[in-house]
Structure formats: C-alpha cells, structure tokens
Amino acid sequence: MKAAVFVARWRPQATRVKLPEVLPSAPLSATRGVLQSKLVLVADAADAEMYFAPLAMTLSPYIDSEGIQHVRDAFIFGANAHVGQSRQSGEPYISHPVAVAEILAGLHMDEATLVAAILHDVIEDTAVVREEIVARFGEEVARLVDGVSKLTQIRFKSKAEAQAANFRKMMMAMVEDVRVILIKLADRLHNMRTLGVMRPDKRRRIARETLDIYTPIASRLGLNSLRHELEDMGFAALYPTRYRVLSESVRKARGNRKEIVAGIEERFVRRFGEEALRAQIDAREKRPYSIYRKMLQKHLSFKEVFDVFAVRIVVQNVDECYRALGIVHNLYKPLPGRFKDYIAIPKANGYQSLHTILFGPHGIPLEVQIRTNEMHQFAESGIAAHWLYKSSGDQGTVTQARAREWLRDLLEIQQKAGNPQEFLESVKVDLFPDEVYVFTPMGEIIELPRRATVVDFAYAIHTDVGNRSVACKIDRRFAPLSTPLENGQTIEIITAAGAEPNPNWLSFVVTAKARANIRNYLKNLQDTEAIKLGHRLLVKALNAENIELEAVRAERMTQLLAEYHFEGLPDLLREIGLGNRMAPLVARLLVMDNLDVTVQANGAPSVNSAQAPMIISGTEGLVVDFAKCCHPIPGDAVVGFLSTGRGIVVHRCDCSNAADAGIHPERWLAVNWSSAPMGEYQALVIVHAKNVRGGLARIAGSVAETGADIDDVRFDDRDVNLTIITITLRVADRIHLARVMRRIKQVPDVVKVIRP
C-alpha cells in the first residue's frame, strides 16, 4: 500500500543526556563578536550537536551553509534560554522547538521561520525579552516569535476569555504574517505526537481544541498532510475506544482487500499505458478519522463506508486532467451526480482537483482524484508551498490568493468583534469544510459555506451591499433574504439607500463576515440611540432640579466624569441610556455644592414624581423596548423601567410587573406616547371560537381586512367543540386594535374576543 509521508518525524531518544550547562545570555549591549564566541563554545558540545544534527540534515538540501549556521545560532541561544527545563517525558525542553523546526523544514520553510520556530517559547517560558531577540536575530524573527507567544502579562476573568484572547492575538499576527500560524500548527503537531505523557483529561482537552480549531485552520490554508495527521491523532486522543475499534476493523478488512486494491492500481496503470498518458497513480484506503466522520454524518455502518477506496492520479497539465477523466470513465462507470470540478471552481482554500466516484470491481465504489503535479503539491502543502517553490519565481497561486482573501476577512471580523470570545466564535463558525457556489448577475462565482443565505451572499459582495439589502432575486424570481442558497443559482441583491441591517438576520446568517458586520452595525446604532436617550433622561432629571444641562459648571461635570472613570460626556450619556446609571442620581450629583462623596454605582435618590413624563414615539430603536408580558401599544397608559444594558422597557400600567414598582422605585419613570406615534406594535388577542373546519381561515381573513398583520398563532383545544386561539397581531394603536377585535367578533362561530 502506498502512502505519502508528510515530513520526517525525528524524535530525540530518551537515552540522550541533558544539555550541558552553558554560559548565561549576554546583555543587550553585547557585541556581535562576543555573541559569536559564546555560540562557538556551546556549538562544540557533542550532546548539543546530537540534537541539532538531524535538523541540519533536513536543511542541507535547500538552505546554504550560512543559513544553517544562523539556525544553529538560534538553537544554541534557545538551549541557553531553556537550560534546566524539561518536558513531561523527561527530555530536555529544547527537543520540542527543534522538532517543530524540523516539521517546518519538511515544508521547506525559509530561514527566518525556522529560527522563530526554535525560539517560539523563549518569550513565554524564559527570562528572554522581545528586545533581546530583536538585537540578536532581527525584527522579523521577533515579530514571528511574539505572534506565537501567549498573552502572559494580562490578567483575564476566566480561562475561556484568556484562550480566546490568545487565539485572537495569534490570528491577528497571522494576518500580518501567515508564517505565525504555520509555526503554531507545527508546534501543535509535535505536541500531539507526544501527547501520550499527559493526563487523560488534558489529552482530551487538547485533542478537542485541535479538532475544533487547528485542523479547520490547516484545511483553510490547504495544509492537508498536516491536517490529516492532526485529525487522526486528535481522534485517537479524544475517542481512544472508537479509534481502537475502528483501526482494528480496518486492519481485519485490509487482509481481504489488499489484492483488490493492488488489482485496481494495476488496471489503471495498464490502461494509462495503452493510452500513452504518463501518470503517477496511487491507490489507498481512507483514513480512520475520515471513515469515522462519514459514519457519523451519514449514519452509516463501517462496512458501508469502508467499501470506498481512493485513487489519486497525477498528470502533467490541466488538459491531461480532463483526458485522464475520460480514461477512468471508460474504465469504470461513473456514479451519477458525484462528479466535482474543483479545477474550474477551486475550493475556499485554493484546492484544485477533479473528483469522481466510479463503480469499481465487485461493486466497490472508487473515489478518484485527478490533478497536476503542482496541484498535488499545493493539496499537500497548501500555503506553505509558496516557500517550497519560492526559488522558481512562483507568485500568486490560487491557494495564496484564497488564503489572502480569508486573512483579509479575518482582519475585518477582528475590527468588528466586540471582544475576543466573540471573535473566536465568529472564526470557528467560518471554518466550514463544505462550500456552495453561486453566481452574480454578471457571471462572477461567489463561494460560500453550506447553508449560507442571501444575506451572507450580500456581505460577501461588499459590506455596504449587505447593510443596505432589502430584497433579492434568485434565478430572476423574488425570494426572502433568509433563503438558503444552492449550487448554481444566480443571485441579484436589491438595495435601498436608507436601509439598515435587521437584528433578525443574526438568527439565520452563517458566515463570520456577515455576523460580525451586522453585530457591529447594531452595536454602533445602539450606542448612538443610547446617547440620545441618555441625553433626554439627563435633561429631564436636571429640569426636575430646576437647572439646564448647559448651566452645569464644567469643573463639576469633569469631576463626576473622573469619578465614574469616563472619558467624556457621551460615555456618561450612553450609560444612562442603557440603564447602567440612574439619571436622577447623576442629576443630583451634578447640582450638589461639592462632590466630596463617593459615587455609588447602584445607589439612587428618590424620584421626583412631579416631573413631566418622557415622551416616546416608537422610533427610538434598540434602546426602547416594549415588554412581551403585556404588549403595550399607543393609547395604553404606560410606564417605563430602566433595565440594565437594555435601556427603557415600556409596560402597561395595569401589567403585573408594573405593580412591583415599589421594589426598585428609582428605576421606574413616567412615560407617555407622543401625539403621533410611528410604526407598528405587537398586541395579543384571545379568540374563543367553535371548533369548525375553516374557522381559522375566516378569522385570518377578517384580520387582513382591517390592515393588520398576524405574527403568530397558538391553539389550545379545551374540548371537541371549543378552540381557544391566541393571536399575536401587529397594529398601529389602540383604536386600530379595537377595530380588529370588532371585525373578528363578526366572524361566524366566534364566541368572544378578549385582550389579556
């Protein structure tokens, strides 16, 4: 059985002795000559040479002697920094960064990356500081090392927050230089190879993190060989019993199928020889994790999945790819609907190949992949192939372009994310293995994750297009913005100048870019509305104290802002508008003779009940909400409650929750409707009707006649003859609701209509 080897897996033998004590690191003021003399002294140590020799052998085919010496200098520096430290396996700690560098050497990474790989833990785990790395190895290496290092100097509220912040830092460093993530992936790969010494619970935690985050990133960057190894080791660590059972089943089945696989490969080789087409043919079995995922996703048994073998065919150019496709389709019949052309339409990570499923001998399905040699190298090495082929002048491959596009999206998501955990959530959501391909009206192909909607498509075109979307056409027919997209559809977005993102979009968008942009827009919108509301509340509270906001002394305002740790008045107004600060308390503090008292965040003076009510028009947006318990509408007597983080929640005065005003009197305020309220409002009506055929349709028709909309309908069958229907309506005001209720009462078989 043929199998591709990703990189040499050198591991130092456990019998090797610890590194000898070496000279302490020189200060920053040390000259280059003094530094070199110390390096030479250590480099002559036989034990140290034992650790570096395998890496030097891997580097020698593509890096000159001067470059190898530079990497050796980094090795000696790292050995100095990590002296006395050891891994849980008992090996000297320097064995780990050297192994990481060797993995990257297998990808033919450049000299700076290899030096940074050897030094990637010195800032985090030793007394070495960034400035020392800059002085000795340059800014480029220091930037890479800093990007991989964790945020050890910052205190976080929780471990989850710390992990999210570290992840965001690493991803942002990757946006600046993708080599950061290559070092981190190699670091994770070696840690997974040596995971056996960890406690079982820690093994599972690291394995889950690897499968959830690092393998999808490796897939995004096209690092398939690295991804496959991470997946299989992560699977073995996370589900050891499942891995053992599945591996044993594969081993038993392999004995029966060795001859079949060999026969398939031989027949392909013979047919390509007859057609005089030079090709490299490799027949192989699927990997354990690949088998497990297919069993899990498609609810298949092992026998159903294992009967799929993969044949890889590598030819010279794209024309020969399609010629090879014709040969294999003549050799074995293709399975209808299972052909995919990833050469014409590459995957999100730049992967290119022809995929087809054939009916093989004895009815065994064969998955055949056909690609050129260059496509194969990029399928195995992904974005790292840029360095592998750097000497040949390769500039701007498909993989590079796709990776750069994804990194640009990451930067936009980072700018729009509210906190590290939101960023981590967005990036994890965006790491999809499956894609759907749709077209713009001009014929441009847009690639999106499976289950993406029209709104995701709009944001993929441009942020402004997404923000201003109001409708769409799918294949020239109008469709809802929430419609999931399918391959081959043509999408046309209809925009309007005054349109804004709808908060409901967050319930169905799937791409991180769309989610981050919607959240950012709504957050900015809420901030703006909160400042306006806070200004109204503060002015109203100051009026009750017989003073205008403009008349407040500047030094008093400055002192209060300093006490609250706010940078300016807008921050104070925003907190008031969101309900985090009480306007009456702030007003009282502003009019006091002095501010020699400590401001209490949750304290509040008594509210002056004589002050005029605040007027609401229904257009305040996100900072004024209407309670779901009583559904107030214009015309109802209402009262407002300042809810922390939400702004004002409006209740009907007869609401049971409003009866609790005595519990937090400082948070309740008088509100009233404007003379001309805008918009539509939800209202509940309960209809008692006889249980007859077509009754609901007649009720719905009567509602439509009054110009109202139905948002929701719920049934409660009391008995065979009577049905209680709870209808959520959208009306303009109390008069409109009364007209709707009168019309419903006129429907035959309706017994009564009430508003709860």
Catalytic residues: 124-125
3-state SS assignment for residue 670: strand
Strand partners, 742: none
Q: Are 121 and 96 in contact (CB under 8 A)?
A: yes
Q: How far apart are CA 539 and CA 548, in angstroms?
A: 7
Contact residues for 603 (Cβ-Cβ < 8 A; gap 6+): 585
3-state SS assignment for residue 60: coil
Q: Are 667 and 642 in contact (CB under 8 A)?
A: yes
Q: How far apart are CA 635 and CA 672, in angstroms?
A: 9
3-state SS assignment for residue 162: helix
Q: How far apart are CA 701 and CA 694, in angstroms?
A: 11
For 331, the token pair is 């050799």
Task: Locate the DSSP E strands across 582-721.
Answer: 614-616, 624-626, 638-643, 647-652, 668-673, 681-690, 709-717
For 195, the token pair is 């995971």
Beta-carbon count within 10 A of 156 CB: 14
Q: How far apart are CA 371 and CA 224, in angstroms?
A: 15
CA angle (110, 391, 70) in 5-degree steps: 30
Q: How far apart are CA 416 and CA 521, in angstroms?
A: 9
Q: Are 671 and 616 in contact (CB under 8 A)?
A: yes
Q: Are 359 and 264 in contact (CB under 8 A)?
A: no
Instruction: Compute φ and ψ for 537, nearest 5 degrees.
Output: -65, -40
Instruction: Compute φ and ψ for 711, nearest 5 degrees.
Output: -90, -35
Task: Specify the DSSP class assigned to residue 213.
Answer: I
Q: How far apart are CA 102 and CA 10, in angstroms?
A: 8
Q: How far apart are CA 72 and CA 52, in angstroms?
A: 7
For 443, the token pair is 């014929």
Q: How far apart are CA 235 and CA 337, in angstroms?
A: 31
Strand partners, 314: 280, 371
For 553, the token pair is 């002394």
Q: Are 231 and 287 in contact (CB under 8 A)?
A: yes
Q: Are 733 and 635 in contact (CB under 8 A)?
A: yes
Please name which of 74, 82, 83 lies closest in space to residue 104, comparing C-alpha atoms.
74
- Taking the alpha carbons of 521, 527, 532, 536 in that order, is the dihedral positive or negative? positive
For 83, the token pair is 């002296």
Q: How far apart are CA 306 and CA 309, in angstroms?
A: 7
